[in-house]
Amino acid sequence: MTGSRLEEFSDMEFDVLKEISNIGAGNATTAISTMMNLKVDMHVPVIKFLEFKELAEVIGGAENVVVGILLALQSDIDGMMMFVMEKKAAESIVSNILPGADGGEPTGDRDFTEMELSVLQELGNIIAGSYLSAISSLTNMCITSSVPYLSVDMAGAILSVPAIEYGKVSDKALLIQSEFGDKALTVDGYFILIPTLDAFEKIFNSLGLNL
Amino acid sequence: MGNMIKVGMADMNTCAGADAITTLGLGSCIGVVIYDPVKKVCGMVHVMLPDSSIIRNNDNPAKFADTGIKCLIDSVCKMGTTKSALLAKMAGGAQMFAFNTDNDMLKVGLRNAEACRTVLAKNNIKLVSEDCGDRFGRTIEFYPATCELYVKAIGKPLKII
């Protein structure tokens, strides 16, 4: 790695991260499409480094209610990973997977039932797991994750958790935005990978990028 | 009603008179308000981490409880008040995810609140009230004219401390 800070990633390193997220998003989309029994299209994920202030703006403002699913990473890589989606999108997904459980249109302001929360947790688990297996098969590293933790709250509050972790090494965070869905239902998912700086280095090293 | 001045994450600002100051979506971070109840001046800092001395990347003083509160005191004093006249209120420091691990990095909300209390005490600034901990995000607004701190959370009634 060229520098000790995230801002100093080279184009080459960025491309590697992009490729990893592309593969991860592909895996995740396949998993979701199977789970929801839908034909799901996906777009090329957008990857960017954002200032903390901008992070919440991308996800609809600091007070926008979102669903955040967080997993702690262990073994070869230490860190956290987080999947964030808007509450409305989460409502569409649960009503798709659990038809008739509630039936209402997604309004963005109802509470989730235990069952629905569990579905969302599992969804986060699958998505995060897909990204993880992409990284681990590319790099030949063993990465295990904790059970998923879920929280429904203001975007600013949810994002403060990864922001604080990033805050130790940088003023910016790495955001991977992926969009998936079919014609009737589009879900914007935001994926935030929060490895420690050492972990980034390990990923690059294992791919032969000894910069 | 005056203007609403926004304070971002790891940011600080001051405000006076009829204006109000706010920070949105506090999670494990803490919003600390320092104010002079007589002169009606105040400042707010949105700190993310407890201690700047153990972190390599510590260029931004507003990010940390120790340096952030110190800077905030200086800024508020520049508005024509003295340190001895200052009082404080704070909110935030939630644990957003219900972890059952003993991983230290996840208890940062608690540690942030503790660090803020310590720094305020060290500077002899009385912490009048606080709303910290629990598991939900908060938006706070402070009105220097009335010295009221509004704490808003999703699905909860407005709290004034």
Burial A66-93 (b: 16+ CB within 10 A, else e): bbbbbbbbeebbbbbbbbbbbbbbbbbb
Cα(A130)–Cα(B100) distance, integer angstroms:
24
The per-residue pLDDT for B160 is 94
Please say if the pLDDT value at position B61 is more than 60. yes
Mark yes or no for CB contact A154/B8 under 8 Å. Answer: no
Percent of chain B, pLDDT > 90? 66
What angle do helix axes A197-206 and A11-36 make, rounded to 10 degrees?
Answer: 90
Which pLDDT tens digit goes with each residue over B22-60? 999 898 999 999 999 999 999 999 998 888 887 777 778
Distances (CA, A) of B32 to A36, B66, B76: 45, 12, 13
Cα(A48)–Cα(A60) distance, integer angstroms:
16
DSSP A166: H
Please say if the pLDDT value at position B21 is more than 50. yes
DSSP string, A191-206: EEEEE-HHHHHHHHHH
The predicted complex's ipTM stands at 0.84
Nearest residue of chain A to residue B107 (CA atoms):
A161
Percent of chain B, pLDDT > 70? 94
Mark yes or no for CB contact A153/B27 under 8 Å. Answer: yes
Whether B132 is catalytic is no
Cα(A157)–Cα(A155) distance, integer angstroms:
5
Backbone angles phi, psi at A82, to 5 degrees: -135, 140
Work out whether strand A172-181 and strand A186-195 pair parallel, antiparallel, or are unpaired: antiparallel
Q: Annotated catalytic residue: which of B29, B42, B116, B132?
A: B29
Phi-psi category of B119—alpha, beta or left, where left has phi over 0 and alpha has psi -120 to 50? alpha
Compute the nearest-CA separation of B38 from chain A (Å): 32
The per-residue pLDDT for A2 is 38
- For residues B122 and B81, the answer to whether their CB atoms sit within 8 Å is no
The per-residue pLDDT for B128 is 95
Mutate to test the interface with A, among B24, B28, B101 (most CBs of A within 10 A): B24
Mark yes or no for CB contact B29/A164 under 8 Å. Answer: yes
Mutate to test the interface with A, among B57, B100, B138 (most CBs of A within 10 A): B57
pLDDT tier, B146 (very low <50, low <70, confident <90, very high otherwise): very high
Which pLDDT tens digit goes with each residue over A19-37? 777 777 777 777 777 777 7
Nearest residue of chain A to residue B156 (CA atoms):
A153
Please say if the pLDDT value at position A183 is more than 70. no
In B52-95, which ranges are continuous DSSP H helix?
65-77
Mark yes or no for CB contact B137/A165 under 8 Å. Answer: no
CB atoms within 10 A of CB A43: 14
Question: Across the interface, which of B55, B60, B137 has its CB nearest the CB of A168?
Answer: B55
CA-angle at A115, arms to A110 and A118, nearest 5°? 100
Given this structure, which CATH class describes domain A6-206?
alpha beta
Question: Across the interface, which of B26, B60, B108 has its CB nearest the CB of A156?
Answer: B26
Domains and CATH numbers, chain B: 4-160 (3.30.1330.200)
Mark yes or no for CB contact A156/B11 under 8 Å. Answer: no
Q: Is A108 part of the contact surface with chain B (CB cutoff 8 Å)?
A: no
Which pLDDT tens digit goes with each residue over A34-61? 777 777 777 777 777 777 767 777 777 8
In chain A, what residues touch B139 (CB-CB under 8 Å)? 62-63, 154, 156
